[in-house]
Amino acid sequence: MMTAKINQQVPLLAVSEWVQGEPINFDQLVGQVVLVEVFQVNCPGCFLNALPQAIELHERFGNQGLTVLGVATAFEDFDKNNLDNLIRLVNDAEVVGETRQMLSVKGLLSNDRLPYRIPFAIGMDRLHKRQHEVTDEEVMAFILERLPHFDEQSSHYQQRLRAQVTTYLQKLDYHAETFERFGLNGTPSQILVDKRGILREVGFGAFPKLEQRVQMLLDEE
């Protein structure tokens, strides 16, 4: 699998199905700034902050050269973060699980549904069911991607971390291809690609300077 690297040509998104909009990918969007909002349907923070921010940017800059895409992924809660619930979200504005609970408590739902529709293209990350036991190579690849100086840690720390990562990976029924290709740490995450198709930034969680970053990329020749 080609791994995404900042300031290099962006690898393609791996989408199993586009549930809203026509199939699209980075190679078709050269000349546009592209923002990909990566979320899970069972992710309250995605719906409280990240998706509304992405919708605002779509509405503000969509006619100025910005394309916003949504990719629903799954790295946990596979019974909720699935294609069926994504289709319900897109078609009926229906939310599930912790998302529904949190938005309901905050009074942000209308008849148990979002009071708005997501206006941009949305696809489901390509998921692969685990077919084998977790290998030492997988564990070390996972660790080194996030902790390059792992070898400098104490042997006790190394052993403990390897055990923790092994346990975590063993619980994953599926691998989400786009999520792993871009080395994402969770949801919400944002992928920013410039007009030349170069990956410029990958964010996780709150991204207060996202509008500023989008504007900067739009201003580039």
pLDDT at 158 over 80: yes
Mean pLDDT of 97-118: 93
pLDDT (0 to 100) of residue 131: 63
pLDDT (0 to 100) of residue 191: 97
Contacts of 163 (CB under 8 A, 6+ apart): none
Q: How far is CA 200 from the centre of its chain?
A: 15
pLDDT (0 to 100) of residue 40: 96
Mean pLDDT of 191-203: 95
pLDDT (0 to 100) of residue 35: 97
Mean pLDDT of 97-125: 94
pLDDT (0 to 100) of residue 1: 53
pLDDT (0 to 100) of residue 150: 87
Higher pLDDT, 115 or 133: 115
Residue with token string 């905050």? 106
pLDDT (0 to 100) of residue 56: 96
pLDDT (0 to 100) of residue 89: 96
pLDDT at 132 over 70: no
pLDDT (0 to 100) of residue 2: 64
Question: Is residue 120 within 8 Å of 57, Cβ to Cβ?
Answer: no
Question: Is residue 171 within 8 Å of 198, Cβ to Cβ?
Answer: no
Q: In terms of C-beta density within 10 A (0-12 exposed, 13-18 middle, 19 or more buried), how is residue 106 classed?
A: exposed
Distance in angstroms (rounded) separating the CA atoms of residues 144 and 167? 17
Q: What is the dihedral of CA 165, 169, 171, 176, to 10 degrees?
A: 140
pLDDT (0 to 100) of residue 172: 65
Higher pLDDT, 156 or 72: 72
pLDDT (0 to 100) of residue 147: 85
- One-letter amino acid for residue 197 of the chain: G
- Taking only the tens place, the pLDDT of each residue in 177-193 is 999 899 888 999 999 99
pLDDT averaged over every residue in the chain: 90
Confidence of residue 122 (pLDDT cuts 50, 70, 90): very high
Residue 2: Cβ within 10 Å count: 10
Instruction: Identify the CA nearest to 182 among candidates 174, 172, 173, 192.
Output: 192
pLDDT (0 to 100) of residue 165: 78
CATH code reported for the domain at 15-126+182-212: 3.40.30.10
- Taking only the tens place, the pLDDT of each residue in 11-67 is 999 999 999 999 999 999 999 999 999 999 999 999 999 999 999 999 999 999 999
Question: Is residue 178 within 8 Å of 13, Cβ to Cβ?
Answer: yes
